[in-house]
Structure 1
Amino acid sequence: MKPIHIITLIAFISSITSIICGFILDVDYSQKLIGFGVIGLFLIVFPLFSYYRWKGKNAKDYMLTKENLDKMRENQREKKI
Protein backbone atom coordinates (compact mmCIF):
# COMPACT_ATOMS: atom_id res chain seq x y z
CA MET A 1 0.00 0.00 0.00
CA LYS A 2 1.08 3.56 -0.60
CA PRO A 3 2.01 5.75 2.40
CA ILE A 4 -0.81 8.24 1.72
CA HIS A 5 -3.29 5.38 1.72
CA ILE A 6 -1.99 4.14 5.08
CA ILE A 7 -2.07 7.63 6.62
CA THR A 8 -5.62 8.17 5.39
CA LEU A 9 -6.72 4.80 6.77
CA ILE A 10 -5.14 5.47 10.18
CA ALA A 11 -6.73 8.93 10.37
CA PHE A 12 -10.12 7.47 9.38
CA ILE A 13 -9.95 4.71 11.99
CA SER A 14 -8.84 7.12 14.73
CA SER A 15 -11.61 9.60 13.87
CA ILE A 16 -14.30 6.91 13.88
CA THR A 17 -12.89 5.50 17.13
CA SER A 18 -12.99 8.94 18.72
CA ILE A 19 -16.63 9.42 17.70
CA ILE A 20 -17.66 5.98 18.98
CA CYS A 21 -15.80 6.48 22.27
CA GLY A 22 -17.52 9.83 22.68
CA PHE A 23 -20.91 8.16 22.39
CA ILE A 24 -20.11 5.12 24.53
CA LEU A 25 -17.98 6.54 27.35
CA ASP A 26 -19.65 8.55 30.08
CA VAL A 27 -16.95 11.14 30.77
CA ASP A 28 -16.92 14.92 30.99
CA TYR A 29 -15.13 15.35 27.67
CA SER A 30 -17.24 12.96 25.59
CA GLN A 31 -18.60 15.80 23.46
CA LYS A 32 -15.03 16.90 22.72
CA LEU A 33 -14.20 13.37 21.57
CA ILE A 34 -17.12 13.45 19.15
CA GLY A 35 -16.12 16.92 17.96
CA PHE A 36 -12.49 15.99 17.38
CA GLY A 37 -13.59 12.90 15.50
CA VAL A 38 -15.83 14.92 13.20
CA ILE A 39 -13.16 17.58 12.67
CA GLY A 40 -10.64 14.86 11.92
CA LEU A 41 -12.95 13.38 9.29
CA PHE A 42 -13.64 16.66 7.53
CA LEU A 43 -10.29 18.42 7.86
CA ILE A 44 -7.87 15.51 7.59
CA VAL A 45 -9.45 12.37 6.14
CA PHE A 46 -11.60 13.90 3.40
CA PRO A 47 -8.84 16.12 1.91
CA LEU A 48 -6.32 13.26 2.02
CA PHE A 49 -8.78 10.91 0.36
CA SER A 50 -9.67 13.49 -2.27
CA TYR A 51 -6.01 14.14 -3.05
CA TYR A 52 -5.27 10.44 -3.29
CA ARG A 53 -8.20 9.72 -5.63
CA TRP A 54 -7.86 12.82 -7.87
CA LYS A 55 -4.06 12.76 -8.20
CA GLY A 56 -3.10 12.64 -11.88
CA LYS A 57 -6.62 13.25 -13.21
CA ASN A 58 -7.76 16.26 -15.17
CA ALA A 59 -10.61 18.09 -13.42
CA LYS A 60 -11.80 19.56 -16.73
CA ASP A 61 -12.90 16.10 -17.85
CA TYR A 62 -15.49 16.04 -15.06
CA MET A 63 -16.85 19.60 -15.43
CA LEU A 64 -20.00 20.43 -17.34
CA THR A 65 -18.52 22.58 -20.07
CA LYS A 66 -20.07 23.22 -23.47
CA GLU A 67 -17.72 20.73 -25.12
CA ASN A 68 -18.52 17.98 -22.60
CA LEU A 69 -22.25 18.60 -22.90
CA ASP A 70 -21.98 18.33 -26.69
CA LYS A 71 -20.07 15.03 -26.31
CA MET A 72 -22.77 13.70 -23.97
CA ARG A 73 -25.54 14.65 -26.38
CA GLU A 74 -23.66 13.06 -29.26
CA ASN A 75 -23.19 9.83 -27.30
CA GLN A 76 -26.92 9.76 -26.46
CA ARG A 77 -27.81 10.13 -30.14
CA GLU A 78 -25.47 7.28 -31.08
CA LYS A 79 -27.01 5.00 -28.45
CA LYS A 80 -30.55 5.63 -29.72
CA ILE A 81 -29.67 4.57 -33.24
Structure 2
Amino acid sequence: MKYIILILFLAAFGSILAGYFLETEYSQKLIGFGVCGLFFIVFPLFSYYRWKDKDVKDYMLTKENLDKMREREKKR
Protein backbone atom coordinates (compact mmCIF):
# COMPACT_ATOMS: atom_id res chain seq x y z
CA MET A 1 0.00 0.00 0.00
CA LYS A 2 2.79 2.43 0.84
CA TYR A 3 4.40 1.84 -2.57
CA ILE A 4 1.13 2.62 -4.32
CA ILE A 5 0.83 5.83 -2.32
CA LEU A 6 4.44 6.72 -3.14
CA ILE A 7 3.93 6.10 -6.86
CA LEU A 8 0.72 8.16 -6.92
CA PHE A 9 2.45 10.96 -4.99
CA LEU A 10 5.35 11.01 -7.43
CA ALA A 11 2.96 10.99 -10.39
CA ALA A 12 0.94 13.90 -8.99
CA PHE A 13 4.06 15.85 -8.06
CA GLY A 14 5.55 15.12 -11.48
CA SER A 15 2.39 16.38 -13.13
CA ILE A 16 2.60 19.63 -11.16
CA LEU A 17 6.27 20.09 -12.08
CA ALA A 18 5.61 19.27 -15.72
CA GLY A 19 2.86 21.86 -15.78
CA TYR A 20 5.21 24.50 -14.43
CA PHE A 21 8.19 23.77 -16.64
CA LEU A 22 6.64 22.66 -19.93
CA GLU A 23 5.38 25.35 -22.27
CA THR A 24 2.29 23.63 -23.62
CA GLU A 25 -1.32 24.68 -24.04
CA TYR A 26 -2.47 22.23 -21.36
CA SER A 27 0.13 23.04 -18.68
CA GLN A 28 -2.50 24.53 -16.37
CA LYS A 29 -4.51 21.31 -16.64
CA LEU A 30 -1.44 19.30 -15.64
CA ILE A 31 -1.05 21.44 -12.53
CA GLY A 32 -4.74 21.14 -11.73
CA PHE A 33 -4.83 17.37 -12.16
CA GLY A 34 -1.73 17.04 -10.02
CA VAL A 35 -3.23 19.08 -7.19
CA CYS A 36 -6.57 17.24 -7.41
CA GLY A 37 -4.74 13.92 -7.41
CA LEU A 38 -2.88 14.89 -4.26
CA PHE A 39 -5.93 16.05 -2.36
CA PHE A 40 -8.56 13.57 -3.58
CA ILE A 41 -6.50 10.40 -4.03
CA VAL A 42 -3.11 10.49 -2.32
CA PHE A 43 -4.06 12.21 0.95
CA PRO A 44 -7.14 10.02 1.69
CA LEU A 45 -5.17 6.85 0.90
CA PHE A 46 -2.33 8.00 3.13
CA SER A 47 -4.74 8.87 5.96
CA TYR A 48 -6.45 5.48 5.70
CA TYR A 49 -3.11 3.66 5.63
CA ARG A 50 -1.82 5.45 8.74
CA TRP A 51 -5.03 5.20 10.81
CA LYS A 52 -6.43 1.77 9.87
CA ASP A 53 -5.24 -0.11 12.98
CA LYS A 54 -5.46 2.70 15.51
CA ASP A 55 -8.18 3.35 18.08
CA VAL A 56 -9.59 6.86 17.80
CA LYS A 57 -10.50 6.92 21.50
CA ASP A 58 -6.80 6.97 22.39
CA TYR A 59 -6.48 10.38 20.74
CA MET A 60 -9.65 12.02 22.08
CA LEU A 61 -9.70 14.26 25.15
CA THR A 62 -12.06 12.27 27.34
CA LYS A 63 -12.29 12.41 31.13
CA GLU A 64 -10.31 9.18 31.46
CA ASN A 65 -7.51 10.39 29.19
CA LEU A 66 -7.32 13.72 31.01
CA ASP A 67 -7.04 11.86 34.33
CA LYS A 68 -4.23 9.70 32.91
CA MET A 69 -2.39 12.82 31.75
CA ARG A 70 -2.73 14.44 35.17
CA GLU A 71 -1.42 11.29 36.89
CA ARG A 72 1.62 11.25 34.60
CA GLU A 73 2.32 14.89 35.39
CA LYS A 74 2.13 14.22 39.12
CA LYS A 75 4.68 11.41 38.80
CA ARG A 76 7.18 13.78 37.21
TM-score of the superposed pair, with normalisation by structure 1: 0.86
Supply the RMSD in Å over aligned alpha carbons.
Answer: 1.0
Over the matched positions of the two proteins, sequence identity in percent amounts to 64
For residues 8-57 of structure 1, the C-alpha deviation after alignment (integer angstroms, 9 at most, x for no partner) is 11110100000000110111111111111111111111111111111111
The 5 Å alignment of 1:20-59 reads: 20-59=17-56
Which runs of 5 or more structure 1 residues have no equivalent in the other structure? none
TM-score of the superposed pair, with normalisation by structure 2: 0.92
Structure 1 segments of 4+ aligned residues over 4 angstroms from their partners? none
The 5 Å alignment of 1:1-81 reads: 4-79=1-76
CA–CA separation in structure 2 for the residues paired with 1:57 and 1:22: 38
Which runs of 5 or more structure 2 residues have no equivalent in the other structure? none
SS at match of 1:31: helix
